[in-house]
Amino acid sequence: MPSLKVKVGRLELQNPVMPAAGTFGYGEEYASLIDLNRLGAIVTKGISLAPQEGNPPPRIWETRGGMLNSIGLHNVGIEQFAQQKLPVLRRFKVPVIVNFFGFTIDEYVAAARRLSALEGVAALEANLSCPNIKAGGIHFGSTCISVIEITKKLVKSTNCAIIIKLSSQVSNIKEIVLAAEGEGAEAVTLINSVPAMAIDLDRKKPVLGGVTGGLTGPAIKPIALKAVWDAASSVKIPVIGAGGIMDYRDAVEFLMAGATAVQVGTANFIKPTTMVEIIEGIDAFLEQRGLKNIREIIGSAQL
Amino acid sequence: MEKKTMSNPVYLKGEIRENKRMGSLYHRLSIFLPKPIDPIIPGQFAMLSMEGTKDILLPRPFSIHNVERNEGASSLDVLFKVVGTGTALLAKLSIGSPIMVLAPLGKGFPDPPLGYKTVIIAGGMGIAPLFLLILRLKTVSSSVLVLYGAKSRDDLICLPELLDMVDIAVKIATEDGTEGQKGLVTELLEHGEDEAGTKTAMYACGPEPMLKAVADLAAERKMPCWISLERRMACGLGACLSCVAKTKEGYKCTCKDGPVFASKDIMWRDNAEP
């Protein structure tokens, strides 16, 4: 059996497959359908200091080859997460990566402090790339100056491994990931959903209640792959690839482009068993080629 | 003890046993499942998806219209109207076609309080989840009145089934007057079902303006009332938070906290969308 083990910063994962934040709830929603213990890690819905109501509906719209969402970071807030959601996740032996966000840098720091003090939090993934909130989110992830400031403060304020989740919608992804690496981020996740919209012809209005949203699904995979390729060639810290991964072949593409791990998002909605099938698919792919270790394919796509 | 209103879903490959065309736009799919499933609570739904199609991405939610549960297998019926790409693809499925099923999902209708009469209000496709409810209420309610309305006679796709049922009363309304009373189904409600101190509970599914009219009446007469909402969904499990409806406690997932809600908990807007 080939080894699928990877290291993401200080985290040792049994395989590189994890859900993308916001597509897997708080884990418990899928616990009766797949064995969560088989995953590389569990990544939670994005959490903030206070509960968030989220954006007005409609919140989703299917497009050709993709899906628009405008959830607006609807979440239960840190205290309810700590009391009700995290105890359920602690029952599984898989590392829990908590995705989080704030509307100001101080809120990011306060959330990171509070979350890192909770038992059972293996790492924190800072969302610097959500397209669906008016303040915060993508605003903090689009310039080197703000990525430097926020990463530095997060790393200083907690003992937890900090992962920075970034957008593809920046002028120079290489500079941005270098900024995160330089301030002590242990990994970067690329990409978040791509800002997008749709119009209802009859109502002559945008279809989403939040007006614009984020595009996910197969439509964005090539965009995500390019971002991962650029990032992986620039930094030494691990890159977690995300964006339109539907099956093991997509996952292997990201690994070959240089991703150390992959996140599966929209595909969880289409087929709840996708992540387990991807893990089995990667295993079979390595086996068929006589490869002993997943490290042999990570970054193996070379010019 | 409160009756159970949720179940553990399974994700299975099923097979189309029947795809019955009912009028020009309506279909009834019977899906064979090779495993037993949890008992279906009336009002619960299934997410259906077709593997291999590139035309649609997400599964589509459908109320469970009927169920057969056997030891090693089960079958589910869903009713639908062709309204878009997904339902057009489902309408073309032939007998033996595979179909992926995630079910049973969501909260179903609770039983009425002891000793209550029940009135069921169905508007158009809203009849889909109410068929199993009628069967249930026949066993727990002192009387069952079904008010069934649609645009026209051809849209009353479950009328023969309803008229075959014993121990229930059925009243019909069509907007064009081709069957029953001419007008909206909610106009059939103006006859004082809860008069003379008789305690009555209401159950409704249909277009949102109809649901709001029923909810308003229930509030006015202080009757217990449950409604089933329909929303675009992605996961069906309460994970993606796409299908929310506005309630007195904030946005709630139609897939997990619903699709059945107590009508008094829903915050309606002017255009009747919660």
Longest dimension (CA), chain A: 57
Q: Which residue of B has its CA nearest to A73?
A: B241
User: Looking at the partner chain, which of A54, A268, A273 has a beta carbon nearest the beta carbon of B251?
Assistant: A54
Q: What percent of chain A has pLDDT over 90?
A: 91
pLDDT tens per residue, range A114-125: 999 999 999 999
- pLDDT(B247) > 60: yes
Q: Summarize the confidence of residues A135-147 as an average pLDDT.
A: 77
> Does residue B270 belong to any structural domain of this protein?
no
> Identity (one letter) of the amino acid at B42?
P
**pLDDT given for residue B189 in this prediction:** 86
Local structure of B159: helix, strand or coil: helix
Residue B272 belongs to some domain of the structure:
no
Decide: residue B25, CB within 10 A, 0-12 exposed, 13-18 middle, 19+ buried.
middle
Q: Residue B98: inside a domain, yes or no?
A: yes
Q: Tokens standing for A228? A: 């991962």
The 10 Å Cβ neighbour count of residue A161 is 22
Cβ contacts (< 8 Å) between A266 and chain B: which residues? 57, 234
Which of the pair, B166 or A263, is modelled with greater confidence?
A263
Domain ranges in chain A? 6-55+70-194+218-296
Q: What is the mean pLDDT of residues A67-86?
A: 96
Check whether residue B96 and residue B138 sit in a common domain: no
Residues of B in contact with A30 (CB under 8 A): 237, 239
Please state, in angstroms and rounded to a whole number, the distance separating the CA atoms of residues B154 and B144.
24
Q: Is 50 exceeded by the pLDDT of residue A64?
A: yes
Confidence of residue B192 (pLDDT cuts 50, 70, 90): low
Which CATH number fits the domain that encloses residue B193? 3.40.50.80
Closest-CA residue of chain A to B274: A57
pLDDT at A192 over 60: yes
What is the percent of chain B where pLDDT is above 90?
81
Give me the residue label for tokens 């807007």: B269
Is residue B110 domain-resident? no
Does residue A68 surpass a pLDDT of 60? Answer: yes
Pairwise pLDDT comparison (A138 vs B161), residue with the higher score: B161
Question: Mean pLDDT, to the nearest integer, of A138-149?
Answer: 84
Q: The CATH number of the domain where B31 resides is what?
A: 2.40.30.10
Of B217, B172, B209, the closest CA to residue B193 belongs to: B217
Flag whether B151 is in a domain. yes
Predicted confidence (pLDDT) at residue B3 exceeds the cutoff of 60: no
Q: What is the pLDDT of residues A236-284, one digit of tens each?
A: 999 999 999 999 999 999 999 999 999 999 999 999 999 999 999 999 9
Residues facing residue B214 across a β-bridge: none
* Together in a domain, B90 and B167: no
pLDDT at B245 over 50: yes
For A53, which of B57, B240, B250 is closest by C-beta distance? B250
Nearest Cα neighbor of A73 from A28, A34, A29, A129 is A129
Q: What is the pLDDT of residue B71?
A: 85
Same structural domain for residues B133 and B218?
yes
Q: CA angle at residue B104 from B99 to B108, to 5 degrees? A: 140
Mean pLDDT of A205-232: 97
Q: How far is CA B70 from the centre of its chain?
A: 23
Average of per-residue pLDDT values in chain B: 92
Rounded Cα distance, A175 and A180, in Å: 9
Nearest by CB to residue A69, choosing from B102, B239, B242, is: B242
Q: Which chain A residues contact residue B10 at CB under 8 A?
A: 33
What is the tens place of the pLDDT at every residue in A156-189? 999 999 999 999 999 899 999 999 999 999 999 9
Q: With cut-offs at 50, 70 and 90, classify the pLDDT of residue B206.
A: very high
What does the angle CA B243 – CA B248 – CA B253 come to, to the nearest 5 degrees?
20
The percentage of chain A sitting over the pLDDT mark of 70, rounded to a whole number, equals 97
Q: Are B60 and B187 within one domain? A: no
Which residue carries 């009243």 as its tokens? B171
B190 — pLDDT class (breaks 50, 70, 90): low
Q: What is the pLDDT of residues B14-56, one digit of tens each?
A: 999 999 998 778 999 999 999 989 899 999 999 999 988 888 9
pLDDT reading at A26 higher than 60:
yes
pLDDT band at A225 (very low <50, low <70, confident <90, very high): very high
Count of domains for chain B: 2
Answer whether residue B194 shows pLDDT above 80: no
pLDDT of residue B5: 64
Q: Residue B2 pLDDT more than 50?
A: no
Q: How far is B81 from chain A (nearest CA, A)?
A: 19
Q: Is B272 on the interface with A (CB under 8 A)?
A: no
Show which of B38, B73, B105 is a domain's final residue: B105
For the A6-55+70-194+218-296 domain, the top CATH level (class) is alpha beta
**Domain identity same for B127 and B246:** yes
Domain range spanning residue B54?
A: 10-105
In angstroms, the separation between the Cα of residue A158 and the nearest Cα of chain B is 28
Which chain B residues have a beta carbon less than 8 Å from that of A67? 57-58, 234
Could you read off the pLDDT of B98-107 as tens digits, one per residue? 999 999 999 9
Mean pLDDT within B85-94: 94
pLDDT of residue B274: 76
ipTM: 0.94
